[in-house]
Amino acid sequence: MNSITDQFFSKRYRENKKLLNDDNEIPNEILESNNLADYVYNLLELHTNLIIAENNKENNQLGIYFTCVMNISSFNESSKEIANHLINIVSDVDKYLWIYNNKYDGKQTTSIWYFCSQQINMAKKSCKHNNPEK
């Protein structure tokens, strides 16, 4: 990274840290779809740095909540196909598996939820009985 980029992300880190302390919400941003992968990567990198800083300070763990609001009226694909394409972009960036959870069709909007496979509530206990002798 160059110094301008470092300054930008340093400023974003301070702003986002302040927002996390204030109300745990980062304001919405409008970005071009061709910048989505870079944006998600930078967001996850920023979040990782926040977790490291917080863990060093108080041993807290922060969660991440990512939403993406898009006007898809100009696309030919269905909302589910577009969401799957976005999830593939996010998966390429963060290397996690995202699992479809729910879809809600409102009057003028469609909401689709995915969960990260690394969430603690996604962990499953082994079906086999634990045998301490093995």
Q: Which amino acid is at 29?
A: E
- For residue range 40-67, list pLDDT tens digits in order: 777 777 777 766 666 655 544 445 566 6
- For residue range 58-104, list pLDDT tens digits in order: 544 445 566 667 777 788 888 888 888 888 888 887 788 888 888 88
Burial annotation 41-72 (CB, 10 A radius, 16+ → b, else e): ebbbebbeebeeeeeeeeeeeeeeeeebeeee
Q: Residue 19's CB: how many other CB atoms inside 10 A?
A: 13
pTM (2 d.p.): 0.46
